[in-house]
Chains A and B, each alone.
Chain A
Amino acid sequence: MEIHKPIKVALIGNPNTGKTSLFNQLTGLTQKVGNYPGVTVDKKQGTCRLSINQTAIITDLPGTYSINPTSVDESIVLTSLLNTTDKDFPDVIVVVADIENLKRNLFLFSQVKDLEIPIILAINMSDQMDRKGISLDVETLQKELQTEVVLISARKNIGIEAVKEKIANCAKVSITYPLCSINHKIDGDYFKQLKAVSPNHTLYELWLMITQNNFPESITDEEKIKLLEFTQDVSMVKRYQHKETIYRYQQINEILKRTYKIDRTKAKDLRGKLDKVFTHKIFGYVIFFGVLLLIFQSIFDWSTVPMDFIDAQFANLSEFVTKQMNSGVLRDLITDGIIPGIGGVVIFIPQIAILFLFVAILEETGYMSRVVFLMDKIMRRYGMSGKSVIPLISGTACAIPAVMATRTISGWKERLITILVTPFTTCSARLPVYAILISLVIPDKKLFGYFSLQGFTLLCLYVLGFAIAIVSAFMLHKLLKVKSTSFFVAEMPNYKLPSIKNVVFDVIEKTKAFVFGAGKIILAISILLWFLASNGPDSFESVADEVTNNIENSNLSATEVQRKIASSKLEKSYIGIMGKAIEPAIKPLGYDWKIGIALISSFAAREVFVGTLATIYSVESDDDNTSTIKQRMRAEINPETGEKRFNLAVGMSLLIFYAFAMQCMGTLAIVKRETKSWKWPMAQLIGMGILAYVASFITFTIFS
């Protein structure tokens, strides 16, 4: 039997049409997330079996209302559709529409259709037609659109087989026709001349290239120069675009008049009732605040059990490897470098997954749009947009996806401010640092006999993170002179119950992206740290002899001698030298060179702080010592004062430092990619660094 080459299929549709549901139904567990070259937008692909000898590779393009892009995500759609020579160029396009908003969905369809690529229209949520009083004449619609139309209900798995069948058939069709001949109704001569530039491209392709300034490889330099001449009169082009839009809607209205009927009396106004509650001037905010509390509560409560479990498993693994392997460099690398490194990433999975779970549910149900609506005016006072709420909430899991989530904000200044302040929100990487420091310096007492003082301190740090984000946003709003036309429009989708499949896939996908994205950096840093701590310049090798010579006549036990050697070794290692070098600068904050080492390594990612201290103290400890990091930190003495190293003043100073400082290379890299310059990540690094230093100094002075 002959196996056919896979058909390349692209899914296109408005946001909230159930495009992702269809993608999940078609591809199931085969889906993978990659990156589009040059941009950080996720590229979701999966395979789908159409028949015994035919498969399809399905690409889920970002949701958009039009192929004229206004954001990075949307420009992906246009680029994918214009690059006819690209190896991923689709053979078939499936436009996913939603029965309730068919008119607006057909607008996007009409644009895609004019590119003359084989196309299928899948109309989703057809199971709700009766309930909403909608009737649709599919056959007439097929004729009018000259396109195969399938009624589906992606969530209920209805019509999926029909879509597969149509994909297989459609790929064989080679001739397609444009739906709206944009030329004669707008300006016949202009479009005739435009078409004459390149015979290999459709008129609509050429029109998109000049209006969107997006030229694919298939366009020669000569053609490009000619095409650019058509954009000389900017206001005329803009006028033509407006006319094109109106013309398209006229066509669609004509078609729908003959095919689509809606009996409004049948529609139940659940949306209106829910909106009244969720956007109420008091209840609206009360509910939103309640939802936030629920999220944070769950992040802490639900995650402790799996986190403790993961922590214990990695400790066991380390112990197991220690027993199994012969001592040597390789064993040390595995038990002190690699295992704690991986453990340091895996431990965050529960918290991040829980947060993503809530965000996914809130987005799926349509509630998030109501939050945007409620918060827009308030956020605008601080130079942000209602859409900034989502990144700020996501920032409590990880700033990296949060910065990417700012893409939906269309005003550049609003988006930039959101990107700049998002790293102040308390991300989960700060949590282990806070947790260990709080348990070291804050007494385990009850406040008013009920609230735990430690828990209260943690809450204060969260509030502090949000507060400093808002304050700095306000200052940036007043200081930044950035040209930006802020334009805000948000769709308020209908409420729906979240689909478990969509939510689960979304959580898995985002969590995976975090583990493999941030995880790589953290693991690499852990190994590097281990190397820097166990190697040093020339004098490093002779440390052991020196120590032995110095203490030859004292009565120290063998273990104590070992400890002394290890400690001197650390001091003489590369990292010890680095820590010593910055010691004068951090002394005013109450830190010594060992904390200095942890600070340096934290600039890779904050959570490395705990791992580094673990590495430092386990390098210092002998093999029999099984005490935890916390016990070892508690035992640490400041040689100058004879007191505990981690006293209240040092602990508070460190907490403030970690709350304010920009210590995450992953975030810096993402900010660079999203703002397309090093200017803004550098501003973050320096600005937040200075703020952290000053605030920690003040804190240390107050508490000591």
Chain B
Amino acid sequence: MNTIATLVKGEIGIISEESLDVIPLKLLEMGCLPGVEVELLQVAPLQDPLYICVNGSHLAIRKEMAAQIKIIKS
């Protein structure tokens, strides 16, 4: 199963529709929506958190959250 956490640095995926229920409202509001491209920009030195770019927003999220958001690799 592909999630944001399985992306490698520089890779892009598309957030799957089924993730809608697991994405917290706050993250949705910041642009992290199903059907949108997400790129993994950086990984923190201790492998967590992840630095992503989604819908033009540059965000840092934790791995446990990222592992719940399913993606389709493009």
Binding site for B on A (CB under 8 A): 65-66, 68, 70, 100-101, 103-104, 107, 238, 241-242, 245-246, 249, 271-272, 275-276, 279-281, 284-285, 369, 372-374, 376-378, 386, 410, 487-494
Contact = CB atoms under 8 A, between A and B. Distances in A.
Contacts of A386: 49, 60
Given A66-B29, A245-B25, A492-B51, A104 B56 contact: yes
A373 B51 CA distance: 8
18 contacts: A65-B26, A65-B30, A68-B26, A68-B29, A103-B31, A104-B55, A104-B57, A238-B25, A242-B20, A245-B33, A275-B42, A279-B45, A369-B60, A372-B60, A377-B49, A378-B46, A489-B30, A490-B59
Interface in B44-69: 44-49, 51, 55-62, 65
B24 A487 contact: yes
Contacts of B8: none
Contacts of B51: 275, 279, 373, 492
Instruction: Give the 3 A-B residue pairs with the shortest CB-CB distance, closest first.
Output: A281-B45, A377-B46, A66-B29
A245 B47 CA distance: 31
Contacts of A272: 41
Given A68-B29, A245-B33, 13 more contacts: A65-B30, A68-B26, A101-B57, A103-B55, A241-B25, A242-B28, A272-B41, A279-B44, A285-B45, A378-B46, A488-B49, A489-B61, A492-B51
Given A279-B44, A487-B65, A492 B31 contact: no
A66 B30 CA distance: 8
A65 B25 CA distance: 11
B56 A66 contact: no
A378 to B, nearest CB: 7
Given A249-B31, A275-B51, A373-B60, A487 B26 contact: yes
A401 B60 CA distance: 25
State the majority secondary structure of interface residues on A: helix
Contacts of B48: 376-377
A489 B27 contact: yes
B56 A488 contact: no
A284 B56 CA distance: 25
Contacts of B28: 242, 245-246
A376 B65 CA distance: 14
Contacts of B29: 65-66, 68, 107, 245
Nearest to B61: A489
A167 B49 CA distance: 42
B60 to A, nearest CB: 4
Contacts of A101: 56-57
Interface residues of B, number: 30
Given A281-B45, A386-B49, A493 B58 contact: yes
Contact of A490 (B33, B41, B55, B60): B60
Contact of B26 (A70, A238, A276): A70
Nearest to B25: A241
B33 A492 contact: no
A239 to B, nearest CB: 8
B18 to A, nearest CB: 13
Interface in B9-40: 20-21, 24-31, 33-34
A100 B56 contact: yes
Given A104-B55, A275-B51, A376 B33 contact: no
A131 B60 CA distance: 26
Contacts of A281: 45
A489 B60 contact: yes
Contact of B47 (A285, A377, A493): A377
Nearest to A280: B45
A373 B57 contact: no
A281 B28 CA distance: 30
Contact of B58 (A242, A276, A374, A492): A492
Contacts of B46: 377-378
A496 B49 CA distance: 23
Contacts of B57: 101, 104, 491
Contacts of A376: 44, 48-49, 60, 62
Contacts of A107: 29, 31
Contacts of A242: 20-21, 25, 28
A260 to B, nearest CB: 10
Nearest to B29: A66
A92 to B, nearest CB: 24
Nearest to A271: B58
Nearest to B49: A376
Contact of A491 (B25, B30, B65): B30
A66 B31 contact: no
A377 B44 CA distance: 8
Contacts of A104: 30-31, 55-57
A68 B45 contact: no
Contacts of B30: 65, 104, 489, 491
A279 B42 contact: yes
A249 B60 CA distance: 21
A84 B34 CA distance: 35
A492 B65 CA distance: 17
A104 B32 CA distance: 10
Given A488-B62, A493-B58, A374 B25 contact: no
A563 B33 CA distance: 78
Residue with the highest number of chain B CB atoms closer than 10 Å, among A66, A377, A489? A489
Contacts of B42: 275-276, 279, 373
B56 A103 contact: yes
Residue with the highest number of chain B CB atoms closer than 10 Å, among A101, A491, A492, A494? A492
Contacts of A276: 42
A104 B55 CA distance: 8
A241 B65 CA distance: 20
A285 B27 CA distance: 28
A279 B27 CA distance: 23
Contacts of A492: 51, 58-60
A491 B45 contact: no
Given A107-B29, A241-B25, A275-B51, A373 B41 contact: no
A276 B45 CA distance: 11
A123 B23 CA distance: 29
Nearest to B34: A246
Contact of A284 (B20, B41, B45, B65): B45
Contacts of A410: 26
Nearest to B54: A104
Nearest to B23: A242
Contacts of B56: 100-101, 103-104
A376 B62 CA distance: 9
Contacts of B21: 242
A275 B9 CA distance: 13
Nearest to B20: A242
A249 B27 CA distance: 13
Nearest to A276: B42
B34 to A, nearest CB: 7
